[in-house]
Amino acid sequence: MYYHNNVSGAVVLAEVMAEHGVKRLVFSSSATVYGDPAQLPIRENFPLSATNPYGQSKLMVEEILRDLFVSDGDWQIALLRYFNPVGAHPSGRIGEDPNDIPNNLMPFVSQVAVGRRAQLSVFGNDYDTHDGTGVRDYIHVVDLADGHLKALEALENAGKGQVLTVNLGTGTGYSVLDM
């Protein structure tokens, strides 16, 4: 499904954009394209080696978009590599309330907070961290939205074709128990 949604969707979108002369694109990629990095913090120029289908599909789209730029230098493309998006809009209208079983930490925390779930299960307590639980670099969704706007501004201000790659994270890790 990742390949259909990410790869096929990106190819079709790029084709339609080109047909209509729209050549500025911000792609929501993922830090999963780095795989298991040898050191932290992760920099944009680190080797790319996705280790799961989701990360591989994001990496494939990045490669397709870079190839698109090589074939037509008028394209302005930003590749935004998200770390771990969390949170909701302050209005409460959009955010961490999935209809099905959550697939990451924050919706579980939110559901416990409002009484929809009785407890939060924490898996793993033997990580080499201050409390033994996994650590991630979480970034709020409103900060991600700001990152998109800044990427668009950077592309517009450049005035020429380019591929801009930016990591979007805080640079600070928080454990499951910290969250």
| Catalytic positions | 54
**Nearest Cα to Cα of residue 161 among 68, 49, 77, 44:** 77
Q: What is the DSSP letter of 83?
A: -
Report the C-alpha gap between 78 and 5 in whole angstroms: 19
- Interior/surface letters 99-134, b for 16+ CB within 10 angstroms, e for the rest: eeeeeebbbbbbbeeeeeeeeeeeeeeeeebeeebb
8 A C-beta contact, residue 109 and residue 99: no
Dist CA 66 CA 31 (whole Å): 17
Do 116 and 102 meet the contact criterion of CB atoms below 8 Å apart?
A: no
Residue 5: how many other CB atoms lie within 10 Å: 11
Report which of 77, 36, 31 is spatially closest to residue 55, judged by C-alpha positions: 31
